[in-house]
Copies of this chain bind each other. A is one copy, B any other.
Amino acid sequence: TKCVCDLFVSWQGEKNAGFDVLYHNMKHGQLATKELAEFVRERAAIEETYSKSMNKLAKMASNASPQGTFAPMWDVFRVSSDKLALCHLELMKKMNDLIRDINKYGDEQVKIHRKTKEEMVGTVEAVQALQVQSGHLQKSKEGYHAKCLELDRLRKEGAPQKELEKAELKSKKAAESFALCIEKYNRVGGEFEQKMSESAQKFQEIEEAHLRQMKQLIKGYSHSIEDTHVQVGQVHEEFKQNVENIGIDNLIQKFAEQKGTGKDRPALVGFEEYMTALAPEGGKKSRAKAFRIPGLGKRDKEPDST
């Protein structure tokens, strides 16, 4: 597999900042973890608020008027809102669990970074040594060049042999000193390269592990949201079905059963003879039984009184 190492490794550059960039990037990982936890905490708070609002909505539905044919419909709204409240409350809980996971990882991360810092003391020293030696090298080079320039000038001016020999000696010594400096610089540079290479590799491993962990946590976030989304979909489907199932006839029937004041139409009242009394003239036979209005006849509840 292709190693991203070469992309990641930041060599020193003009400002010798490579190590610092990598080190601070690692430290920024802690900030990222903290910010992810804050983001999820905010999301949890949003879901909690939504859940409470849905509870309030459910209460509105259950406080709706129990009168009228529409009344049973409110139960469908109440149940649905209550279930939605539960879905979002569960999401809040899952977000809170996730925050715990993030914080736990954050603690581990701090430990890893502390340990890494200790392990990289050698690299920091190598970086500093290279910086110091780089300064020496520059000075030494300038010195050598100055001596060469002086020698050239004397030659062009046709200076006395003695002076020329003196200047040649100085230039030679400066060249030797410069050569020594180069040697030392290259030695220090070699050490730097090795240490830096190791550290960059280590930084990269840490970074990869960090990003893997962060993506894992984000996966947890998105799975929880997805689960809730599926549940919410089911609640909606159920709501739709319930509304569909409560037919208009159904509502009217329910209402009639609850509030109905009788299915029998009022009927013709017949002449009710008094007990043992004479039959009134005109042969008016009692038709009372068949068409009696409830509550009007005295013997309403007797089985047969014709």
Contacts and interface: CB of A to CB of B under 8 A. Distances in A.
Contacts of A92: none
Contact of A148 (B6, B225, B248, B275): B275
Contact of A218 (B144, B243, B255, B268): B243
Interface residues of A, number: 120
A222 B248 contact: no
A31 B67 CA distance: 9
A215 B243 contact: yes
Most B Cβ at <10 Å: residue of A77, A240, A293: A293
A46 B39 contact: no
Interface of A: 4, 6-15, 17-18, 21, 24-25, 28-29, 31-32, 35, 38-39, 42-43, 46, 49-50, 53-54, 56-57, 60-61, 64-65, 67-71, 73-74, 77, 130, 134, 137-138, 141, 144-145, 148-149, 151-152, 171-172, 175, 178-179, 182, 185-186, 189-190, 192-193, 197, 204, 207-208, 210-212, 214-215, 218-219, 222, 225-226, 229, 232-233, 236, 239-240, 243, 248-249, 251-253, 255-257, 259-272, 274-277, 280, 284, 293-296
